[in-house]
Structure 1
Amino acid sequence: MAERVDKLEQQQTQAQGSVDLVNQINALQAQIQSLQGQNEELKHQLDQLKQQSNDKYVDLDSRIARLEGRSPGAAAAAPAPAPANNQMQDVPLGGTAATAGNAAPPPAPEQNAAPAVAAAPTAQLSNPAVGGGDEKAAYDQAFGALKDGRYAESARQFQAFIGKYPNSDLTPNAYYWLGESYYVTANYPVSLDTFSKLLAQFPNSQKASAALLKVGYCQYELKQWDKAEATLNEVGQKYPGTQEANLAQGRLRALKLERH
């Protein structure tokens, strides 16, 4: 009888050990599944960051390319001679710059500047004099700070310019580059507000198309998907065949990928 009791106790102990082992295995499987889910989520976030980084690189390369007078994505064959003052020029969007062996036509008025900030100087282009001496000097000082990457200082100077010269021919440009100074520092809400003010106050400005594009860009960065889609579509409808329309289409494609 005693032997039977001992045998039953041993069997019970073994059974309990098996149950504990099964519970441990189940717990480990649950942890593995949780880790796999976290890994998939991190991979998705990484893919999103890669896509955003690529989009920003393409956008920056495109803007710098227009300022340098070359096709986006194409490497310059040879460095172009810099202007005497080594200053980035506020040049027309999609305008033609001088190429090797060819003289550039006179640039359009500076108000047509591209929606970009680039450190590289543009070959054989000049910044046409617009407005009075003090007015133009103040604008050039703010633009120079922007070109040098001193964005906070540039923003203060453009704000001061707008306050002092609200009716200047350069005021739409000042609003635009003020918005750009916020955009390149990822201050998208303030950038959006600035570009929106430009469109509200100067709807017929030569900066209007670029400003509308940047409104869509800001909405995209703020993940305001429906608004961004509507704005970018509006760019294509109002300015078909332009650089802005082409860039809007590219951002719309990125938006569709982002939303999925």
Structure 2
Amino acid sequence: MTRFDARRPLACAAFAAALVFGAASAGAQDGALAGRVDRLERDLQLLQRQAYQSTQSGGGGDLTAEGAASLYSKVSQIEEQMRDLTGQIEQLNYKIEQTQQRLDRMQADVDFRFQSLEKGGAGAATGAAEGAPAAQQPPANPVSGSTVGILGQTRSAGAPPVAAPAENAAEAYRDAFNLLKKADYPAAETAFKSFLQTYGNTEYAGNAQYWLGETYYVRGQFDQAAVAFADGYKKYRKGPKAPDSLLKLGFSMRKLNQTDKACVALEQFLKEFGGAPKVQIDLANKARTEMKCR
């Protein structure tokens, strides 16, 4: 006759409590992140209004085109932070969902065991055997397990491990961008350079190249900024930061007193990216007016 271990329900209860606490904690983090997104949205709206007002003021406005571009750069940083926070919220929601699924499986397993005991105890052993896979089933997103499986197949199937590099790229990009947010521009420069050397073929590369240029631009290193922005435009022309890179290339050239090249860059921006946000179009037109471009 199968002996019932009274400690098992207690252990299950303790584990379930830990899962519930983890889900509650994740939910609290979710709420906190949502609050941060709301605050960033308010900041973004304020900056966008300031940028719009500056572009509507014409040549006699309080801000030069470069000053307005700096304001737009701040807007871009806030948008980047919002995307990052939104991604974190999605990850937390996924974790909460997975935790709930694990709780449901555990509850079903415990119910099955108690039903077996109530029927006479003879089915307890069978219940344990049948219920074990559900109780021991790993989470639906086993990162380490998936990575091991892919690496194990690499030699025979010839498929490179895709998931781990993508995750590493996202983490490395986030680390570099956090340095930029802290205004630690030398460290951010180093981090973005390292990122581009390692993850230059990932979806984050175009953005990283643009922000590398910004680390130079904000420090007045306009020659290096021009090179970085030119690379961002040429190498990642189809990327989301290509318009920004070309626009800032024009401003960098203007800072270097290379007015002709600045005018050419801004004219190319207007021709190629006519559908860019209005604030960018207005900035380019304002700069061309100030430089008296033909």
Q: Which residue pairs with 1:73 in the alignment?
A: none
Quote the Cα distance in structure 2 between the aligned partners of 1:203 and 1:196: 10
Pick aligned residue for 2:86 from 111, 126, 130: 126
One-letter amino acid of the counterpart of residue 187, structure 1: Q
Quote the Cα distance in structure 2 between the aligned partners of 1:172 and 1:62: 18
Quote the Cα distance in structure 2 between the aligned partners of 1:67 and 1:207: 10
Residues 144 and 89 from structure 1, CA distance in 2 versus in 1: closer, same or farther, beyond 3 angstroms?
Answer: farther
Deviation, 1:55, is 4.0
SS of aligned partner of 2:215:
helix
Q: Which residue pairs with 1:254 in the alignment?
A: 290
Deviation, 1:155, is 0.4
Residues 243 and 273 in structure 2, CA contact (< 8 A), matched pair in contact too? yes
Quote the Cα distance in structure 1 between the aligned partners of 2:288 and 2:69: 13
Pick aligned residue for 2:183 from 149, 172, 179: 149
Residues 160 and 239 from structure 1, CA distance in 2 versus in 1: closer, same or farther, beyond 3 angstroms?
Answer: same
One-letter amino acid of the counterpart of residue 246, structure 1: D
Quote the Cα distance in structure 2 between the aligned partners of 1:67 and 1:204: 18
Q: Does 1:172 align with 2:206?
A: yes
Q: Does 1:61 align with 2:71?
A: yes
Pick aligned residue for 2:173 from 129, 139, 164: 139
Q: Which has the higher helix share?
A: 2
Aligned residue pairs total 159
Quote the Cα distance in structure 2 between the aligned partners of 1:171 and 1:246: 27
Give CA deviations for 1:125-161 in whole Å, capped at 9, x if unaligned. 5257897222211111100000110000000001001
Give CA deviations for 1:40-90 in whole Å, capped at 9, x if unaligned. xxxxxxxxxx999744433333443x459xxxxxxxxxxxxxxxxxxx551
Give CA deviations for 1:155-178 in whole Å, capped at 9, x if unaligned. 000100111112111111111110
Residues 158 and 175 in structure 1, CA contact (< 8 A), matched pair in contact too? yes
Residues 243 and 276 in structure 2, CA contact (< 8 A), matched pair in contact too? no
Quote the Cα distance in structure 1 between the aligned partners of 2:87 and 2:224: 28
Decide which structure has the larger Cα Rg and report it: 1
Residues 172 and 205 in structure 1, CA contact (< 8 A), matched pair in contact too? yes
Quote the Cα distance in structure 1 between the aligned partners of 2:71 and 2:229: 22
Quote the Cα distance in structure 1 between the aligned partners of 2:61 and 2:224: 24
How large is the RMSD of aligned CA atoms in angstroms? Answer: 3.1
Pick aligned residue for 1:201 from 229, 235, 240: 235
Q: Which ranges in structure 1 are unaligned for 5 or more consecutive residues?
A: 1-49, 69-87, 92-96, 98-106, 111-124
Residues 192 and 218 in structure 1, CA contact (< 8 A), matched pair in contact too? yes
Quote the Cα distance in structure 1 between the aligned partners of 2:272 and 2:236: 16
Quote the Cα distance in structure 1 between the aligned partners of 2:219 and 2:274: 29
Give CA deviations for 1:202-257 in whole Å, capped at 9, x if unaligned. 22112111111011011111010111111111111111142332211111122229
Residues 229 and 61 from structure 1, CA distance in 2 versus in 1: closer, same or farther, beyond 3 angstroms?
Answer: same
Residues 68 and 283 in structure 2, CA contact (< 8 A), matched pair in contact too? no
TM-score (normalised: structure 2):
0.48
Quote the Cα distance in structure 1 between the aligned partners of 2:224 and 2:187: 16
Residues 155 and 210 from structure 1, CA distance in 2 versus in 1: closer, same or farther, beyond 3 angstroms?
Answer: same
Q: Which residue pairs with 1:8 in the alignment?
A: none
The higher-RCO structure (CA 8 Å, 6+ apart) is 2
Quote the Cα distance in structure 2 between the aligned partners of 1:52 and 1:216: 21
Q: Does 1:163 align with 2:153?
A: no
Residues 89 and 127 in structure 1, CA contact (< 8 A), matched pair in contact too? no
> Superposed, which structure 2 residues align to 1:87-102 within 5 Å?
88-90=78-80
Quote the Cα distance in structure 2 between the aligned partners of 1:169 and 1:67: 17
One-letter amino acid of the counterpart of residue 248, structure 2: K
One-letter amino acid of the counterpart of residue 67, structure 2: Y
SS of aligned partner of 2:86:
coil
Q: Does 1:232 align with 2:266?
A: yes
Residues 211 and 52 from structure 1, CA distance in 2 versus in 1: closer, same or farther, beyond 3 angstroms?
Answer: farther
Q: Which ranges in structure 2 are unaligned for 5 or more consecutive residues?
A: 1-59, 92-162
